[in-house]
Amino acid sequence: MSALTVSQDPDQNWDDLVRYWEEMEWPEGSKVEIIEGIITTT
């Protein structure tokens, strides 16, 4: 299993991070989480 992380820009707020998470087309069957301000997908 591998993971891809997308780090949050320090000037970005929580709403922007969630919007990015919702708008991305993640690979089918992947698990996507926001952990301590970092979007992680496995």
Strands of the sheet with 38-41, listed across from one edge: 4-6, 38-41, 32-35
pLDDT at 13: 79
Which pTM does this prediction carry? 0.54
Q: pLDDT (tens digit, 9 = 90+) per residue, 20-29?
A: 888 888 889 9
Residues of the chain with pLDDT under 70: 1-12
Report which secondary-structure segment, H or E, holds 17: helix 14-23
pLDDT at 7: 57
